[in-house]
Structure 1
Amino acid sequence: FAASFLCFTMQLYTSSNTCLLSVTDAIFGYAVIHCQFTASHDHFYLEQIFFNKVLLGQYNSTLGKYVGFTEKAQEVAEALNKNQAFIKEAVKNEATCKTHIPIMMDLLSKSVEPSVRLRSVEAVDSRHPGTLVCSAYNFYPQQIRLTWLRNGKEETSDVSYTDELPSGNWLYQIHSYLEFTPRPGEKITCMVEHASLMEPKLYDWEPTPESVTNKIAVGTSGLLLGLVFLVTGLIFYKKNTTGERQDNINQKTSTK
């Protein structure tokens, strides 16, 4: 245990990424470094060494020294406390921790407005013929609220949500689903509330207008009708061409 504690501790201060141990009862060992702080900038720096899921020892900046929690780890901790190079490095890391606190606080205090998309998708295994999806992308902080409104009133039935999913770079995304049966003249809205917004933002679902639908239907019908005429013309042309060839062959045969 003493060898493992020293080996992992040395990894904290060297560029080595490997640590080979010849301890027969070893299962798993790892080191954890914490830089913990509060909104008032109170902080402390902590290094911890675990082996076989047991905390063997740690350096805590509030104490300013290494502490061992087993008999062997205590011996190693005493040796480290007498080594000024290790103590100076720990103090240096604590100073780095303190220096980065204002940067982290500034980063955490900023908010990023979500980009929102409202769309209709095909209903799957639902008693309703339609499903709407309200998606919010790339927002920070994580807390957000999506609410469905039908004619200005909150809709809670047949509504489901995903968790806030990480998108990378500290940003998140979330998706909400509304299974519904369309009603003539109704207004469906997705309301988004987030720290980046001065007030809730409303996104109305705009179904395809009937005029556009009719134009699409007429255009599709015209295309199909044109294809029918084209195929019929090709068949008629092929038959005429075949008939003319057969007449020419018959005339040549009778002449002979």
Structure 2
Amino acid sequence: MFSKTFRAIFAHELTLVVGCFHNGPAEVQFEFDAQELVYVDFERQELVYTVPKHFVLDPSAILGDIGDYNGAKKGKNACAAVVAYCMDMEKNIPEEKDPPETVLYPAEEVQLGVENSLICFVNHFYPPYIKISWTKNGHPVSQGVSLSRYYPNNDQTFHQFSTLTFTPSEGDIYTCTVEHVTLARPETRIWETKFSHHNYGPDVFCGVGLILGLLGVGAGTFLIAKGHYGRTIPQL
């Protein structure tokens, strides 16, 4: 991976990042202060802006000059020579590899019968090629599954998301399994749908009974006191 950085008079950096891999396609993106602004989709031959729309409604109108598809394509074409050179220089040096860290969690608060998403977040792995698979109650699932592209981290590793759209039902068990060259066996994370069924009837009934009992004791005490102090003292 190589990059080119442009610095302004202010403390900001605009960086062109070109990822070259000997076992996969090249990736090109533009970053502003280490945050991705644009990446290049070579299959569709276009720039894809990743600036949130609530910040910029039409990022191409403002950032159009930042991303240049033809320039990005030249960087991609240069990858073959770069990779060949690097592999020749490192023939006897084993490639560093980092195992993935996987977390499985729901996108929103889980409610019975309400559609939600499970996110399998795989982070800090290298090289950037993994396989992610899903199961529901032990059966493979492919419908409702989406997979993001690879995103680079600052430490030269990568992260990736896989999302499964589902409707929670009591007792369902989902798994996300990750395969990577650094793992001796596939790594699986498990998520189970659980709902608490607390019956408030007896508690409410007991609470009302206790309140009524206390009111009864209070009323009785008041009547007794009134009866005691309400007597007329006979005159001697």
What's the TM-score, normalizing by structure 1?
A: 0.42
Point out the structure with max Rg over C-alpha.
1
Structure with a larger share of its residues in helix:
1
